[in-house]
Amino acid sequence: MKYQLFTYADKSGAAGTGIAVKQKLFSLAGVAAGGALAGKSVMHLLEDWENSHDLLLSVTGQLVDFSDRYLPHILDANEITFLPPVTHPGAVYCAGANYRDHVEAMARAFNHKLVVDPKAQGIPPWHFMKSGKATLAGHREAVPFPSHTSMLDWEAELAVVIGRRASKVTVDDALRYVAGYTCSNDLSARDNLARANIDVSSPFRFDWIGHKCFAGSCPIGPFLTPAAFIESPENLNIRLWINGVLRQDSNTNKHLYGVADQISYLSQRMDLLPGDIILTGTPAGVGMESGTFLKRGDVIKVWIEGLGELETTIA
């Protein structure tokens, strides 16, 4: 039976771990009282993921078979605040230009000659980083419009959460190191990538911090769905709406580099650790393609098949 994990704050502001089963939300501390899972954060669970997953499956079975006794531990989604599922990731790695349809759309929009199949040409994947906790935002969180941009863009992305230390792993083995998947939105300040009045040959021209790292630039959640319940991360429908209007509609089968490719590549450079997050790229339909950008009051929804829906408001 499928379960999902989430992190929440109650009305007092106290953080807790939740478990979702059959569209009901439960306090993990309540349903696992007295057991090995009591008091465990999602990060604690990830640090011993194989054992945690077995214990969580047991709890899930109890919730399904004896749900009435756990009614006092049901959470009302309207009375809690969703926090990022992993509140303190060690690192957030982000893949750039990793959907075939996105690369093709950007090439048309800017009349650029972009490589639409870099893997076939032996070009490795490339990533940038977001600054962990400082950039995260939870489901239904209001993200302040950054003062340093007038071109705030959206990017629906599949996020991968690592569950085992991964060091120089092969592509064939890479998915064994995944704890689960969640929805994310790589918010981007497009007018901050290239600094004005700096020569194009200067190493100081590009500003990836200004472009990608600001408060709330990485909405993520609401649920962490264990990898055991996802047949393949390479065949998931992914969509994004702004104020109810569909802007992105694609499938992860358009990845140029799959999840396994990315894990293997990154793990050659440094060990990936439990709780690390990889944002795997965005499909076509971002604002930069049409020159349309976010404004205050916009409501963004990211949906990924089997994972749930992430909502963000620009404040």
pLDDT in tens, the chain (315 residues): 899 999 999 989 999 999 999 999 999 999 999 899 999 999 999 999 999 999 999 999 999 987 788 999 999 999 999 999 999 999 999 999 899 888 887 777 666 767 778 888 899 999 999 998 999 999 999 999 999 999 999 999 999 999 999 999 999 999 999 999 999 999 999 998 878 888 888 888 888 888 899 999 999 999 999 999 999 999 999 999 999 999 999 999 999 999 999 999 999 999 999 999 999 999 999 999 999 999 999 999 999 999 999 999 999
Q: Please indicate, yes or no, whether residues 181 and 290 belong to a single structural domain of this protein.
A: yes
β-strand partners of 225 = 181
Q: Please indicate, yes or no, whether residues 207 and 273 belong to a single structural domain of this protein.
A: yes
β-strand partners of 245 = 242
Q: How many CA atoms lie within 13 A of 150 on its CB side?
A: 0
Q: What is the pLDDT of residue 298?
A: 98
Q: Please indicate, yes or no, whether residues 55 and 25 belong to a single structural domain of this protein.
A: yes
Q: Please indicate, yes or no, whether residues 177 and 129 belong to a single structural domain of this protein.
A: yes
Q: What is the pLDDT of residue 110?
A: 66
User: Could you tell me whether strands 188-189 and 127-130 are parallel, antiparallel, or unpaired per DSSP bridges?
Assistant: unpaired
Q: Please indicate, yes or no, whether residues 34 and 159 belong to a single structural domain of this protein.
A: no
Q: Please indicate, yes or no, whether residues 227 and 109 belong to a single structural domain of this protein.
A: yes
Q: What is the pLDDT of residue 207?
A: 85
Q: What is the pLDDT of residue 104?
A: 84
What is the rounded distance in angstroms from the CA atom of residue 146 to the CA atom of residue 169? 38
Q: Please indicate, yes or no, whether residues 238 and 134 belong to a single structural domain of this protein.
A: yes
- Please report where in the chains the tokens 């939105």 appear, as a residue: 185
Q: Please indicate, yes or no, whether residues 74 and 209 belong to a single structural domain of this protein.
A: no
Q: What is the pLDDT of residue 194?
A: 78
Domain extent, residue 69, equals 4-83
CATH number at 279 reads 3.90.850.10
Which phi and psi angles does 241 have, rounded to 5°? -120, 145
Q: Please indicate, yes or no, whether residues 76 and 99 belong to a single structural domain of this protein.
A: no
Q: Please indicate, yes or no, whether residues 104 and 42 belong to a single structural domain of this protein.
A: no
What is the rounded distance in angstroms from the CA atom of residue 85 to the CA atom of residue 136? 10
Nearest Cα to Cα of residue 187 among 220, 162, 163, 233:
220
What is the rounded distance in angstroms from the CA atom of residue 305 to the CA atom of residue 249? 11
Q: Please indicate, yes or no, whether residues 115 and 229 belong to a single structural domain of this protein.
A: yes
Among candidate residues 60, 83, 106, the one where a domain is terminated: 83
Among candidate residues 54, 83, 112, the one where a domain is terminated: 83
Among candidate residues 83, 109, 124, the one where a domain is terminated: 83
Number of domains into which the chain is organized:
2
